Amino acid sequence: MLLDAIGSFVQNGKPLVIEGWHAYKAWNSNVLSPNWLKKSAYGKKGEGYSSNYVDFRDLTYHSDDSKLLKSLIEDVRRQFNIKAEGASGPNVHNKDLPCPDLWYSMLFREDLLLGALLPYGASDYTAHLSPEMPVDTTMCYIGSAGSYMPLHKDACMSVGHNLMCFAEKGGKARWYMTSTRDSHHASLFFRQHIGAKVDWESRRLTHEQMASASFPIYETVQKMGDLVLIPPKSCHQVANKGGLTIKVAWSRMSLKSLYLAFHDELPVY
């Protein structure tokens, strides 16, 4: 039944959530944790950086910067404590952090995730690119109350996957997503009625604005172990709630993604 649901999800073009991945035996919650990240020598290497620096986005000032991963984790925790006391404070989150190698090898195995969902798996056509053109779409997001990903679409009509691997102090994420079919209509509606350009990836809509849409919007609250599947072309927005969460995200080029990218996306370029 699960395989059928995954198989038909891309054709239906409606979001799907599969719960409970953290209950699998192969799940190692000691490794999939901020403490492991803090201890591992992991981060951006290069000029001007020591080995544990990572990029983060400050949503209050609309700026990107880098800092030590362990300081960022503490800032994200502090941000939740400040919000929990009802005060206003920083809104920072870490996006597009490369997935640590150990996490990659732990998560992307057929005895944990199903083969149909794996990056470079049987239903990911990027697996057919030549070896000189590898595409790594895996990344991590670290956030807490106050941080969010504005309304946007994923690149190249790919299928999005987002797995919440860690949550503390009631950490969760509220998602709003459109179907594949309504995507074009939704982009026009958001621009004409709300002034939000989806491709600019800059606006966070309120619940009321979402509810005013003239097409269905799918809403879900993602918790630890939930895998959210985002259909190709879906306009979506994610807002973190409660304590610190870590999510691992990746993309897959389904056959439908290739078709849509070829006909809808590439002509724009």
Ligand X SMILES: O=C(O)CCC(=O)C(=O)O
Stretch that binds ligand X, among 49-57, 84-92, 154-162, 256-264 (CB under 6 A): 154-162
Kindly give, in sequence order, each residue whose CB lies less than 8 Å from that of residue 82, ignoring residues fewer than 6 positions away.
Answer: 88, 89, 90
CB of 239 to ligand X, least distance (A): 8
Kindly give, in sequence order, each residue whose CB lies less than 8 Å from that of residue 211, ignoring residues fewer than 6 positions away.
Answer: 217
Tell whether residue 160 is a contact of ligand X (CB under 6 A). Answer: yes
Nearer to ligand X, 49 or 58 (CB): 58
Stretch that binds ligand X, among 117-125, 141-149, 181-189, 203-211 (CB under 6 A): 141-149
Distance of CA 141 to the CA centre of its chain: 7
Structure tokens that stand for 157 in this block: 């009509």
Q: What is the dihedral angle through the alpha carbons of 254, 255, 256, 257, rounded to the nearest 10 degrees?
A: 50
CB of 183 to ligand X, least distance (A): 14
Residue from 138, 162, 180, 183 in contact with ligand X (CB under 6 A):
162
- Residue 35: Cβ within 10 Å count: 12
- Residue 64: Cβ within 10 Å count: 11
Tell whether residue 243 is a contact of ligand X (CB under 6 A). Answer: no
Tell whether residue 154 is a contact of ligand X (CB under 6 A). Answer: yes
Residues 210-239 that bind ligand X (CB under 6 A): 230, 238
**Binding site residues, ligand X, CB under 6 A:** 141, 143, 149, 154, 160, 162, 173, 230, 238, 247, 249
